[in-house]
Amino acid sequence: MRTRSDWRGDYLDGRTAHLRPAELRLMATGIEVTVEGQTTFWPYLELRQTQGRYAGEDVRLERGGELSEAVIVRDRDFLVSLRQVAPGLGGRLYEPGQRSLRLGLTVAAGVAVIALGVAIYLWGIPLFARAVAAQVPVAWEEQLGAAVVREVAPPKGRCTDPARQQRIEAVVSRLAAALPASVPYRFRVLVDSEDAVNAMAAPGGFIVVFRGLLDRTDSAEELAGVLAHEMQHVVHRHVTRMIVQHASTGLLLAAVTGDVTGVMAYGLESARVLGALQYGRRAEEEADRDGLRMLLAAGIDPGGMIGFFEKLASKEKAAGPTLPRYLSSHPLLGERIARLKALASARPPAPPARLLADYDWTDVRRICAGAPPR
Amino acid sequence: MGDEGTTPPSRPSFFKRPSLEPEPARPTAPPSPPEHAAPSYRPAPRGPVIPPPPPPPTLPAPGSGGFDPYAQALPRTRTRLLFHGTGGSLFGIHVVNVLLTLVTLGVYYFWAKTRVRVYLMSQTELEGSRFAWHGNGRELFWGFLKACGVFGVPTVLLIAIRDLLDVPAELKYVAGILVPLVFVVVLPLAMVGARRYRLSRISWRGIRFSFRGRAADFVKLFILGSLLSSLSFGLYYPIFEVRRHQFMTEHSWFGNRRFRFDGRGIDLFWPFLVVVLLALPTFGLVLLWYLARKRRYLWDHTLAGEARFRCTVTAFGLFLLYAGNLLLLVLTLGLAWPWAKVRSVRFLLRHLSIEGPLHLDEIQQDARAGSATGEGLAGFFGAGTGFDFG
């Protein structure tokens, strides 16, 4: 393009909102600005360009301190001419010629952000959470766990028949014996009288088994499978890790999204929950895998665990369609069973002695007979 | 970085779109001198509609040359704020911001925030001139550090004494009383501070905005309002909200011109009562109606000189905006934030206009300082001040 040295613009004096027309002449070391017949010289080295980087945006050059004078040129070709007249300005002014370079860098940054974000989410945060959770004293975990258990299974709803409780504890100690001696937890299993087919682990070694689940176990091996899974949650400190992961995911999302307020914050919160679900499924898989290994190490038939899951699966199928995988906190039962079977068959089945062979397991279900139904 | 495509040199893109509103005639505008009618220099009329000041002979009257399709339409003067930003451009800025924020473990956040504000302000136009943002990342960073020192650390310490540390019970008791007290004082301080900072960094045609309310007055208003709200089981809340808004508005200035507010809190009381009564049967949707009603009320009672703001937000409009943004963010795990932001700003400005003469020629520079500490404090609360643009 032909270099043009004379331009028209508007002048703002920094004292009034008055736009006054200005004539600009580009010189080697600065711009001659003529406003209402008066000409001043604006050296390039005193100029700041504060606007004019985007299409449709006027070029704005400021000069002076905090409350500066400014000239505004509406034609962005002004920048091209400016470059030609004074090529040595470096980064002080926007360089239109480097637009495609900037665009390329931006795209590269986008790719890097996605790669970095995914890496942080998939590996960075879980590793960080594991490292932090390992530093949390067991006493703190026990405090937290006790509070959780009080909330989930209040003492008056618990089933405490001592003879049957002992049978359950026999299963627990058989499993715990298979753990390395370095595991610092003391496991306490509580049976709650609520009719839910569920069990949960709280930090610090607490495991709550709900009556509904206990009622559906037909052998000690089946309960051992459930307990092994829950004990692995405790050993892996999954809840503590989840808390750290939740906080870190929040920070990551805040970084990815900039500032979010009001209703948009809810959108983010849902994204965060979806992210947390993925971590939850991973934790479940870990607990399944290591739970099954623990069964094998303790010499307990893993068929009980697999059989119990299959029982749940057939019931689930009868109940109707399930949530898609990415919307669930647990992996799909079918997948879990397949994975467990693969793991169990990888090891040659040692002839397992039956667990609590001299005990009629169905008797354990009467543990809640004395407790008030809830 | 990440800028938009270049437009044909003689026609910057924002000239293409005339304002959606019918424009009034500009009887006082003299024909512009022929040398200014060149297409590269103010070729066509746009939204602005204020009769320009009697110009010196060389001053071209805005929009007076060329074809004006709306001439002789309405006698009333109405001014609009136009937003020219696009999600794509903002995404370009945003993506670099995110990368640098992640790489610097969050330190770049303050510079990132500034870059977004510069963009949003520069893309907002009134009367043919763009706004400008004059803040910088360094001052935000220091503001944050200062806010940590005077508020963050002491508060964390108090909470630790109350909940975690092994100290005598009396000390725990004292800390337990102090914690909510600190919040009730610091929250209004943060709101005032953030507004003072933000307004002091915005300019239009070189003239700065400013906020001149005394922090102590707002703290008093805030504590009293909170007390009355809880004593009246929330019934005082709408009045409290209007009072707060009134304080914020009436101490805001543009150059040497003060904004005014002539609303009364009692006017929002009945709508608020309707919301309380209908919240459950409508699954909370009536809240949108109230939000729209409140926004309209607050703007419609805000004045700049003789000119009055007009807001046309509707509940349905808000619903579409919020639902759309929610969907955008959830589906992209937050990555579509720039588009959501642009949608919000566009929505806000589309429903806002100023009616009446602005007399912009009378405005003189009268800037006030504003430190970024209040902005740093507000960061702890996510406190909105009504003027947050980014």
- Kindly report, residue by residue over A53-79, the tens digit of the pLDDT: 888 888 999 988 778 899 999 888 888
Closest-CA residue to B374 (of B121, B198, B115)? B198
List strand residue ranges (DSSP E) for chain A, in order: 6-12, 20-26, 30-35, 38-43, 47-51, 59-63, 69-73, 158-159, 188-192, 199-202, 206-210
Q: Residue A350: what pLDDT? A: 63
Taking the CA of residue B306 and the nearest CA in chain A, the distance in Å comes to: 17
Pick the range with the lowest mean pLDDT from A98-107, A202-211, B45-54, B114-123: B45-54
Work out how many domains chain B is built from and give that number. Answer: 1
A164 CB neighbour count, 10 Å cutoff: 20
- DSSP designation for B296: H
Find which of A239-248, A258-267, B19-28, B297-306 is predicted with most confidence, using mean pLDDT.
B297-306
Q: Amino acid identity, residue B82?
A: L
B139, part of any domain = no
In a domain, B203, yes or no: no
Residue B350 CA, distance from chain mean position: 14
CB spacing of B99 vs A103 below 8 angstroms:
no
- Are the Cβ atoms of B122 and A51 closer than 8 angstroms? yes
Chain A, window 121-150: residues with a beta carbon less than 8 angstroms from a chain B beta carbon: none
Q: Which residues are within 8 A (CB) of B159 and not within 5 positions of it... i.e. 6 or more apart?
A: B175, B179
- Residue A291's nearest CA partner among A221, A226, A199, A229 is A229
CATH 2.60.40 fits A6-94, yes or no: no
DSSP 8-state assignment for residue B262: -
Place of tokens 């990415």: A326
Contact A46, A57 (CB under 8 A): no
Return mean pLDDT, chain B. Answer: 79
Q: Is the pLDDT of residue B75 over 70?
A: no
Which of A20, A59, A73, A106 to probe the B interface (max B CBs under 10 A)? A106
B69 part of a folded domain = yes
pLDDT digits 0-9 by tens, B322-365: 899 888 887 887 788 899 999 999 999 999 999 998 888 788 88
Give percent of chain B above pLDDT 90. 40
Neighbours of A113 (CB within 10 A): 23
pLDDT confidence of residue A326: 60
| B98, closest residue in chain A (CA to CA) | A256
- Count interface pairs A-B at CB distance under 8 A: 193
Sheet holding A47-51, edge to edge: A38-43, A30-35, A20-26, A6-12, A69-73, A59-63, A47-51
Domain membership of residue B184 (yes or no) is no
pLDDT at site B371: 80
Residues forming a β-bridge with A70: A12, A62
Residues of chain A with CATH 2.30.29: 6-94
| Separation CA A23–CA A39 (nearest Å) | 9
AA identity, residue A186:
R
**Residue linked to tokens 């020219």:** B84
Bridge partners of B130, per DSSP, are B125
Higher pLDDT: A364 or B244? It is B244
Predicted confidence at residue B387, as pLDDT, reads: 43
B28 within domain boundaries: yes
Quick check: B73 pLDDT over 90? no
Q: Between A68, A103, A261, which is nearest B384 by CB?
A: A261
Residue A262's identity, in one-letter code, is G
For residue A5, give the nearest of A29, A37, A34, A31 by alpha carbon: A31
Phi, psi values for residue B47, rounded to 5°: -55, -35
Token readout for A56 is 């449709």
Q: Which pLDDT score, from 0 to 100, does residue A131 have?
A: 92
Distances, alpha carbon B368 to alpha carbons A64, A267, B144, B146, B299, in Å? 17, 37, 21, 20, 24
CB contact, 8 Å: A119 with chain B? no
Evaluate whether residue B1 is within a structural domain.
yes
- Residue among A105, A251, A264 whose CB faces B340 most closely: A264
Whether residue B388 lies within 8 A of chain A, CB to CB, comes out as: yes
Predicted confidence (pLDDT) per residue in B255-275, tens digit: 999 999 999 888 999 999 988
**Rounded (10°) angle between helices A263-297 and A220-235:** 120
Query: Is the predicted pLDDT of residue B4 greater than 80, yes or no?
Result: no
CA dist., res. B135 & res. B388, Å (int): 13
pLDDT band at residue B63 under the 50/70/90 scheme: very low
Among left, alpha and beta (phi > 0; psi -120 to 50; other), residue B302 is beta
Which pLDDT score is estimated for B7?
Answer: 37
Cβ atoms within 10 Å of A176's Cβ, excluding its own: 19
Complex prediction ipTM = 0.72
Backbone angles phi, psi at A6, to 5 degrees: -105, 130
Query: Which candidate from A21, A103, A120 shows the least CB-CB separation from B2?
Result: A103
Q: Phi and psi at residue B69, in whole multiples of 5°? A: -70, -20
What's the Cα-to-Cα distance from A113 to each of A99, A267, B335, rounded to whole Å? 21, 20, 10
Provide the chain A residues 6-45 that lie in CB contact (below 8 A) with chain B.
8, 12-21, 36
Q: Is A76's CB within 8 Å of B12's CB?
A: yes
CA B381 to CA B390: how far, in whole Å?
Answer: 16
Per-residue pLDDT in tens (0 to 9) along chain A, 374 residues: 567 889 999 999 888 988 899 999 998 888 999 999 999 999 988 888 888 888 888 899 998 877 889 999 988 888 888 888 887 776 667 777 778 888 899 899 989 988 998 899 889 999 999 999 989 888 888 888 888 898 888 888 888 888 889 889 999 999 999 888 888 899 999 999 888 888 889 999 999 999 888 888 888 889 999 999 999 999 999 988 988 888 888 888 777 776 655 556 666 777 778 778 888 888 999 999 999 999 888 888 888 899 998 888 887 777 666 556 566 677 778 888 999 988 888 776 666 677 887 888 888 888 887 655 54
Answer yes or no: are the C-beta atoms of B308 and B356 closer than 8 Å. Answer: yes
Paired sense of beta strands A206-210 and A199-202, if any:
antiparallel
Of A21, A56, A60, the CB nearest to B13: A56
Which residues in chain A are contacts of B103 at CB distance < 8 A?
Answer: 116
Distance CA B43, CA B28 (A): 19
B365 and A14 in contact by Cβ < 8 A? yes
Closest to B304 (Cα-Cα) out of B263, B349, B262, B259: B259
CB within 8 Å: B84 and A99: no
Enumerate long-range contacts of A164-173, CB under 8 Å, 24 or more apart: A164/A363, A164/A364, A164/A366, A164/A367, A165/A191, A165/A367, A167/A220, A167/A356, A167/A359, A167/A364, A168/A209, A168/A223, A168/A364, A168/A367, A170/A356, A171/A220, A171/A223, A171/A224, A171/A227, A171/A355, A171/A356, A172/A207, A172/A227, A172/A231
B59 touches chain A (CB under 8 A): yes
Does the residue B240 lie in any domain?
A: no
Looking at residue B19, its pLDDT comes to: 39
Has residue B109 been placed in a domain?
no
The SS3 assignment for B116 reads helix
| Nearest chain B Cα distance for residue A75, angstroms | 6
The minimum CA-CA distance between B87 and chain A, rounded to whole Å, is: 13
Q: Which domain holds residue B4?
A: 1-76
pLDDT of residue B317: 94
B 340-379 → A contacts, CB under 8 A: 340-341, 344, 360-361, 363-365, 367
- The C-alpha atoms of residue B76 and residue B51 are separated, in whole angstroms, by 11
Which residues lie below 8 Å from residue B115, measured CB to CB, with a gap of 6+? B93, B97, B137
For residues A218 and A362, the answer to whether their CB atoms sit within 8 Å is: yes
Chain B residue at shortest CA distance from A66: B134
Residue B367 backbone dihedrals phi, psi, to 5 degrees: -85, 155
Chain A nearest C-alpha distance from B191 (Å): 15
Contact A253, A308 (CB under 8 A): no
CA B145 vs CA A146, B152, B159, B372: distances in Å: 38, 9, 20, 10
Q: Which of residues 143-202 of B touch A (CB under 8 A)?
A: none
Query: Is the full-model pTM beyond 0.80?
Result: no
Cα–Cα nearest to B390, from B88, B96, B174, B109: B109
List of long-range contacts for B317-323, beta carbons under 8 Å, 24+ apart: B317/B292, B317/B347, B317/B351, B318/B288, B318/B291, B318/B292, B319/B285, B319/B288, B321/B347, B322/A263, B322/B288
Q: How far is B91 from chain A (nearest CA, A)?
A: 9
pLDDT at A91: 62
Question: Which tokens belong to A125?
Answer: 């945060």
Q: What is the pLDDT of residue A349?
A: 62
B136 in A contact zone (CB under 8 Å): no
